[in-house]
Amino acid sequence: MWRSHLATTRSRGDKRVLSQHSPDSQSDRGATRFPKRAIQSGVVQVGYCEADKAADTPEPPCPGASRPCCTVSVGKGGTALYEGPSSPISPTSPDHNPWVSKNLQHPKYIALKYAASMKISQLYVYPIKSLRPTALSESELTIHGFPHDRHFMLLKVEEDGRLVNMHVPNFPRMALFLTDIVFPDDAQGQDGKIIVTYRQPMSQNDKDCIKTLDIPLKPRIDNLKTFKVVMHQSPTHAYDMGEQYNSWFSDCFGFNVILAYIGDNRRTVLGNMSPNAEQEKTQSGWLSRVAENVTSLGGWVGKDTNDPDSITFADVAPYLVVSESSLDNVSARLPEKMDITKFRPNIVISGAPKEFEEDYWRELKVKDDITLVLTNNCARCISINIDFDTGAPGTGEMGAVLKKLMKDRRIDQGTKYSPIFGRYGFLGRGCEGSHIKIGDEVEVSKTNSEHTKLEWPGLTN
């Protein structure tokens, strides 16, 4: 029989657990009290079903219950109100109960839900890779990321004709380019465009030092030349946007630059980044997936827009999710607040109870029906040290963010020399065409029991 009541120490097993691990966490009425530092106001769900008993999963600390399951509503002051069967799992805090601390992360136990606090706080799209983002209030979701995300990129033309992919770490002046998307307006008969604004270093008040360029959001490709682009060992075809656009960027940088457009071409997701990586590894491996892009003539045709395991000019995945709680931790190490766009996220989440708890997030639910599958960590480089005002490496402590994170954020054995901030994600099945907006509630629907390990050829140890 299901009912609502205060969680009490009814059974001897429960009482032993509470008295051993959380003797100071009970009120006079026998309610479990969660420390404020452990869990904020919200909901924690712990589930255990009969099917789990036959699987290799740990037993809960309530041997007397045949189907122990509980939902704990955490109110002000940390008091836990319990809803569940008459013989519940004792809803003790992960800070006090070793079993909970160890096994609450187990994917077979319906993990964590902080419905009262976790929300989408910021959304960003990067129409031109490595330039500054366009902030959004809402967006459609596609299997390849937000619409128009990283559909363009810049390449430096070397004297010998070689093309070099341009990224912020090697070309920090890219931080001086702002982008703004003007979306199509069918009613007004207006096509969409990207407005790029270049501000020379420390010259924001000098209008003569500000240049702008309009780029069609979806260019006509009929007469554009094509060439091969290889990023992180994942190749595709791209279109050369031509002299009008190339010369503008070349003048800004002081060397020859090509603006590339990906069109309907895509790159292959390699290693274990894809949610389908295990199945693909069993069937053919990532080398075979790359080989699928090769024509009989030896040319690269790239992936098409219907392949769920393909990406645009994004580094390795279509979405990057970060937490404001973790940003606060980084900012606390610095003399001023860290600009979250230096981490180049697509989705920023507020209200996570603890910094860096996203390290264990495996799946998120937005508005209860949109799924984001988080597969791997995002390893960081010197781009987070760049000063956005000067387009050069930062000075003082703001130029040492990477070094500060190296002390305690090297948690991924696949990239053990790089600190981690954020999780890479993919859109869940059946969610194509869904929309999200700032303010949407987010819940953690699945977690990992341990840190994930990134595998990507050329990027990992």
Q: What is the pLDDT of residue 1?
A: 30
- Mean pLDDT to the nearest integer, 276-304: 50
pLDDT at 280 (0 to 100): 59
Average pLDDT over residues 6-25: 30
Q: If you average pLDDT over residues 205-229, what whole number do you get?
A: 90
Q: Is residue 58 part of a domain?
A: yes
Whether 283 shows a pLDDT value over 80: the answer reads: no
Domain limits at 55?
A: 3-110
**95 in a structural domain:** yes
pLDDT of residue 125 exceeding 60, the answer is yes
336/260 same-domain check: yes
* pLDDT band of 204, cuts 50, 70, 90: low
The span from the CA of 373 to the CA of 60, in Å, is 27
Whether 277 and 368 map to the same domain: the answer is yes
Question: Which of 10-19, 183-192, 202-211 is least confident?
Answer: 10-19
Residues 216, 103 share a domain: no
pLDDT at 82 over 90: no
Q: What is the mean pLDDT of residues 11-18?
A: 29
Position 346 pLDDT exceeds 80: yes
Residues 67 and 212 in one domain: no
As a whole number, mean pLDDT of residues 69-84 equals 39
Q: What pLDDT is recorded for position 74?
A: 40
Pairwise pLDDT comparison (121 vs 116), residue with the higher score:
121
**Would you say residue 132 lies in a domain?**
yes
- Answer whether 32's CB lies under 8 Å from 17's CB: no
pLDDT number for residue 47: 42
pLDDT band (50, 70, 90) for residue 187: confident
The pLDDT, as a whole number, for residue 209 is 80
Tell me what pLDDT residue 341 has.
99
Model confidence pLDDT, tens digit, residues 435-457: 999 999 999 999 999 999 999 99
Residue-level pLDDT at 288: 53
51-60, 112-121, 140-149, 326-335, range with the lowest pLDDT? 51-60
137 and 77, same domain (yes or no): no
Q: Which of 60, 75, 110 is the last residue of a domain?
A: 110
Same domain, 317 and 374: yes
Residue 169 lies in a domain: yes
pLDDT grade for 305, boundaries at 50, 70 and 90: low
What's the pLDDT tens digit per position in 307-325?
768 999 999 999 999 999 9
- Assigned domain for 148 exists: yes
Task: Specify whether 147 is located in the same domain as 288.
Answer: yes
Residue at 115 is within a domain:
no
Percent of the chain with pLDDT over 90: 63
Question: Does 279 or 86 have the greater pLDDT score?
Answer: 279
Kindly report the pTM of this predicted structure: 0.75
**Structure confidence at residue 63 (pLDDT):** 38
In the predicted structure, residue 110 carries a pLDDT above the cut 70: no
Is pLDDT above 80 for 51?
Answer: no
Whether residue 347 is predicted with pLDDT greater than 60 in this model: the reply is yes
What's the pLDDT score for residue 160? 96
- Stretch 321-341: mean pLDDT, rounded? 98
End position of a domain, from candidates 83, 110, 137: 110
pLDDT digits (tens, 9 = 90+) for 224-237: 999 999 999 999 99
% of the chain with per-residue pLDDT over 70: 67
Residues 371 and 258 in one domain: yes
- pLDDT score of 369: 93
- Number of domains within the chain: 2
Q: Region 293-307: what's the mean pLDDT?
A: 43
Statement to judge: residues 272 and 374 lie in one domain: yes
pLDDT value of position 153 = 99
Does residue 69 have a pLDDT over 90?
Answer: no
The pLDDT score that the predictor gives to residue 97 is 44
Q: Of 17-21, 24-28, 286-290, 333-337, which one has max mean pLDDT?
A: 333-337
Is 268 within a domain? yes
Same domain, 206 and 71: no
Please determine, for residue 136, whether its predicted confidence score (pLDDT) is greater than 50: yes
* Angle (CA) 363 369 372, round 5°: 30
Residue 143 one-letter amino acid: I
Which residues, including other chains, have CB under 8 Å from residue 8's CB and lie 6 or more apart? Answer: 14, 29, 30, 31
Each residue of 348-382: pLDDT tens digit?
A: 999 999 999 999 999 999 998 999 999 999 999 99
Q: Tokens 């819940």 sit at which residue?
A: 443
Based on the domain organization, do 54 and 136 belong to the same domain? no
With b for 16 or more beta-carbon neighbours within 10 A and e for fewer, the 130-164 pattern comes to bbbbbebeebebbbbbbbbbbbbbbbbeeeeeebe
Same domain, 153 and 34: no
**Domain's final residue, options 70, 86, 110:** 110
Structure tokens at 19: 């008295």
In a domain, 280, yes or no: yes
